[in-house]
Structure 1
Amino acid sequence: MSVQDNFKARLSDFLVASSPISGTTWLKALVFALLNRNLENPKSNHVMFASNPHEYVPFLEIQLYVKNRIPNLDVMPSPRLLATHIPYSSLLESAKDSGCRIVYISRDIKDVFVSLWHFVNAISLKGAFESYCDGVSVYGPIWDHQLGYLKASMARPQCVTFLRYEEMMEDPVSEVKRLAEFLGCPFSEDEEKGGRVEEIVKVCSFDSLKDLEVKRVGELQLSRMKRKNQLFFRRGVVGDSKRWLTPEMIGRLDGLTESMIGAFGSLTP
């Protein structure tokens, strides 16, 4: 409610959106690197090596507007780079009306569940699975979350883009180039010939990020919780859910996904 009441989006803002544990950390690193790659400091492209990407691209509702705090975000230099897990249906109106650019990343719903269970690690897998299938999950049912942003990207493609984790893992160079185009900072011909795209892909890759010392130590404050940095870099493998879910559980989630998304096709490849 504090975000809804107090945050005013600007046309120049960039908003990284996702449901929890859907590749958010990776996307934050990529967006930050793309928007800052032309700074004079040659080390600026690797600045995410110094801290968790969540420190550079903070969440509105669980980092900035918490504990009745109303930060003065007007002092942030433009363009402001922010993040949210809020579903599109509940997204603040100024973000929808301002024309700011929103980048959303989706991920296979089965893999999201497994990663979220490992991240929270509070109840049994079976109990968490039943709640998840019932739509009881942080930020609401995953199907509504992904479908809301997918519809928005179809209705307002100039303002909202919908990325798929699996496609980014399969062809990161093409997807990063497409992302740069959407952000308004496309790669020049010289950059492409000089391997700039591949450099950013490598710098921001899951393997590069998870091996950094700063990612293995320390904690990040999210709302009322502290989470160890290493929890944000578990595995990042496509299809990891097959290691944890039975064929019956996989079939149930696939069936629910098929029934929920209706005529919009597949949310993931």
Structure 2
Amino acid sequence: MEGEERRIDEKTQEKYAHLISILPKKKSWGRYLHMYHGFWYSSFVLNGIMSVQDNFKADPSDVLIASSPKSGTTWLKALVFALLNRNAVDQTSKQVMHSLNPHEYVPFLEVQLYAHSRLPDLDSLPPPRLLATHIPYSALPESTRGDPSCRIVYISLDIKDVFVSFWHFLNDGRHDSHEPFLLEEAFESYSDGVSPYGPIWDHQSEYWKASIERPQSVIFLKYEDMMEDPVNGVKRLAKFLGCPFSVEEEEGGVVDEIVKVCSFEYLKNLEVNKEGEIQFGKMKFMKWAFFHRGVVGDSKRYLTPEMIERLNMLSVRMTCSSGSSP
């Protein structure tokens, strides 16, 4: 069958289940995570990743937003969507941002589009297709890493802030009853690299290397730099995406308006992001949970000096392994 009626056959689903069952596993963040090619995943995420690897075919016009979880993904989705749709939307996408949550505009491949036995009909989407993923660079389908390939926009955040943001997100935003994750226990797993899509330092390092080797296809953005100078960050992003701002747009305040309507505080206060939930695979999260604080350096409020030093050492390890500093 074609399009949305196409399904993964039973033998393929059995193959995925068998592969997952024989992988090394550890319990972390309230569930078992499985080691697959150097990274840790829950079983339903890994099932989606395998389906993406087998079925997704990137188009050269695709734009893929990539990140590790809780690294500024929601903000980046809003920015990229506004940039690519600013001419069609006009008034700098203000009305569009009021309609849907950024994760509804830009779905994740492995936990939304390919999370079920029914395969998505991506061929029906007009170019450029705007998609997202937390999949490590080395595990992406070859069609996203070939030449020519789609553009990949990666955003990173200090691994200390990522941990605290992720801890808050899973404790506050999950739409199910569960015991709170204790900070100290979660920290031990995280700093050992045993966390969803972890180790995060390897995740960031892979995309950093790709951005150095293939700068025409991969851009590596730092959340901290984007927050410090969002106007120039957005202009750099627009140029990379092949839709630079015209002089008239800059003089007319289009860049400033996009920065404003996609800002953390603006999105957080929209009614569309205050109510409802979003399904990621087998889990549901409240929309408001994607807008906790968004503050650089928030980890200092929660981590001990010893915890900070431990993660700083892991950041040094990432720098050494990549040969340069992201």
TM-score, shorter chain, exceeding 0.5: yes
Cα deviation digits, residues 137-183 of structure 1 (max 9, x gap) = 10120001000000000000000000000000000000000000000
Question: Which of 9, 20, 37 is equivalent to 2:69?
Answer: 20
Rounded Cα–Cα distance in structure 1 between residues aligned with 2:271 and 2:84:
24
Q: Residue 120 of structure 1 corresponds to which residue in structure 2?
A: 170
Give the unaligned 5+ runs of structure 2. Answer: 1-49, 172-179
3-state SS in 2 of match to 1:20: coil
1:92 aligns with 2:150: no
Q: Does structure 1 retain, via aligned residues, the 8 Å contact 2:109–2:133?
A: yes
3-state SS in 2 of match to 1:161: strand
Q: Does structure 2 retain, via aligned residues, the 8 Å contact 1:12–1:80?
A: yes
3-state SS in 1 of match to 2:107: coil
Rounded Cα–Cα distance in structure 2 between residues aligned with 1:245 and 1:40:
43
Q: Does structure 1 retain, via aligned residues, the 8 Å contact 2:86–2:92?
A: no
**TM-score relative to the length of structure 1:** 0.96
Report which stretch shifted further, 118-127 or 7-16.
118-127
Q: Residue 72 of structure 1 corresponds to which residue in structure 2?
A: 121
Rounded Cα–Cα distance in structure 2 between residues aligned with 1:104 and 1:43:
23
| 1:193-212 aligned within 5 A | 193-212=251-270
- CA 1:44/1:260 → structure 2, altered by over 3 Å: closer, same or farther? closer
3-state SS in 2 of match to 1:103: strand
- CA 1:243/1:40 → structure 2, altered by over 3 Å: closer, same or farther? closer
3-state SS in 1 of match to 2:248: helix
Report which stretch shifted further, 175-184 or 91-100.
91-100
Question: Which of 97, 120, 145 is equivalent to 2:203?
Answer: 145
Q: How much does 1:66 deviate? A: 1.0
Q: Residue 245 of structure 2 corresponds to which residue in structure 1?
A: 187
Rounded Cα–Cα distance in structure 2 between residues aligned with 1:237 and 1:45:
23
1:82 aligns with 2:131: yes
Q: Residue 239 of structure 1 corresponds to which residue in structure 2?
A: 297
Cα deviation digits, residues 224-256 of structure 1 (max 9, x gap) = 100000110000000000000011110110012
Rounded Cα–Cα distance in structure 1 between residues aligned with 2:209 and 2:90:
39
Q: How much does 1:40 deviate? A: 6.0
Rounded Cα–Cα distance in structure 2 between residues aligned with 1:226 and 1:140:
21
Rounded Cα–Cα distance in structure 2 between residues aligned with 1:40 and 1:109:
35
Rounded Cα–Cα distance in structure 1 between residues aligned with 2:163 and 2:78:
22
Q: Residue 266 of structure 1 corresponds to which residue in structure 2?
A: 325
Q: Does structure 2 retain, via aligned residues, the 8 Å contact 1:46–1:203?
A: no
- Which has the larger Rg? 2
| 1:206-221 aligned within 5 A | 206-221=264-279
Rounded Cα–Cα distance in structure 1 between residues aligned with 2:94 and 2:182:
41
**TM-score relative to the length of structure 2:** 0.80
Q: How much does 1:44 deviate? A: 4.3
Cα deviation digits, residues 27-62 of structure 1 (max 9, x gap) = 000000000001165474531221110000000000
Q: Does structure 2 retain, via aligned residues, the 8 Å contact 1:37–1:45?
A: no
3-state SS in 2 of match to 1:135: coil
Q: Match for 1:124: what amino acid? A: L
- CA 1:187/1:246 → structure 2, altered by over 3 Å: closer, same or farther? same
Q: How much does 1:265 deviate? A: 3.7
How many equivalent residue pairs? 267
Question: Which of 150, 153, 157 is equivalent to 1:103?
Answer: 153
Q: Residue 224 of structure 1 corresponds to which residue in structure 2?
A: 282
